[in-house]
Structure 1
C-alpha cells in the first residue's frame, strides 16, 4: 500500500468541498484527463464519477465509485483504471495547526496490478500521489483563500 501525507494551509472542510465536487476530479487526480458525467448523488456511497484516463488518442473511459463519505474526516473510493486494474483510495483529513493534514492511501485491489510486487507498485503510486496531493492542495487552499478574503481586497470591475 502506498501512503502519502501533505500539510495544507486550509481547513478540512475546504478539502472536502473539492472532493465533494466530482467535476473537479481531473483537476487533482493524476491520470484523469476529463469528466464525462457525475452521478447526481455524488459523493454519497455508491455514487459514480464517469471519467477518462490517459491522453488523446489513447483515452480509456472508466469510473470511480464512492465506498465511504465521512466529511470532514474520511473518503474511500474504488478507482477503476482498466486495463491496469482497480485500486482502493482512502483520503483522511484532520486539523493540524492552523491548517490540515491530508493522507492518501492507495492499494491495488483487482486486476493485473495486484500481481505485481509492492516493491514495484508502491514507489510508482507514491510518486503519483505526491503530485495528486499537491494538486488537491492548490484547489483546497485556493478555495480557502477566495472564501476567506475580505471583500475590500477583492478585485473590483468598473
Structure 2
C-alpha cells in the first residue's frame, strides 16, 4: 500500500463537498480523463462513477464504486482501470489548526497491477497520488461546490 498526505487550507467539509460531486472526479484524479455518468445515489455506498481513463484515442471506459462514505472523515473506493486491474483507495481527512490534513492510501487488489512487486509500483503511485492531492486541494480550497 502507498500513502500520501497533504495539508490543506480548508475544512474537511470543503474536501467532502468536492468528493460528493462525482462530476469533479477527473478534475482531481490523475489518469481519469472524462466522466460518462454519475449514479444518482452518489456518493452512497454501492454507487458508481462511470469514467474513462487514458488519453484520446486510447480511452478505456470503467467505473469507480463507493465502498464506504463517512463524511467529513473518510471515503473508501474501489477504482477500476482495466486492463491494469483494480485498486482500493481510501481518503481520510482530519482537522488541523490551519485547516485539515488529507491522507490517501492506495492498494492494487486485482488484476496485473496487484501482481507487480510494490518496489516497482509504489514510486509511481506516490507520485500520482501526490498530484491527486494537489488537485484536490485546489478544488477544496477554492470551495468547489457539490452538484
Q: TM-score band, normalised by the shorter chain?
A: over 0.9
The structure with the greater share of residues assigned to strand is: 2
Structure 2 stretches of 5 or more lacking a match?
A: none
Structure 1 stretches of 5 or more lacking a match?
A: 147-158
1:97 to partner: Cα distance: 1.0
Query: Is 1:120 aligned with 2:120?
Result: yes
Listed one character per residue, the Cα deviations across residues 9-47 of structure 1 (whole Å, up to 9, x for unaligned) are 000000000000000000000000000000000000000
Paired positions, count: 145
Give the distance between the partners of 2:115 and 2:32, measured in 1 at CA: 23
Give the distance between the partners of 1:117 and 1:143, measured in 2 at CA: 38
Aligned counterpart, 2:72? 72
Task: Return the index of the structure with the highest Cα Rg.
Answer: 1
- Structure number with higher relative contact order (C-alpha < 8 Å, ≥ 6 residues apart): 2
Listed one character per residue, the Cα deviations across residues 100-152 of structure 1 (whole Å, up to 9, x for unaligned) are 000000000000001100101111100000000000000000007x9xxxxxx
Give the TM-score normalised by structure 1.
0.90
Instruction: Name segments (4+ residues, structure 1) moved above 6 Å.
Output: none
Aligned counterpart, 2:81? 81
Give the TM-score normalised by structure 2.
0.97
Give the distance between the partners of 1:51 and 1:67, measured in 2 at CA: 17
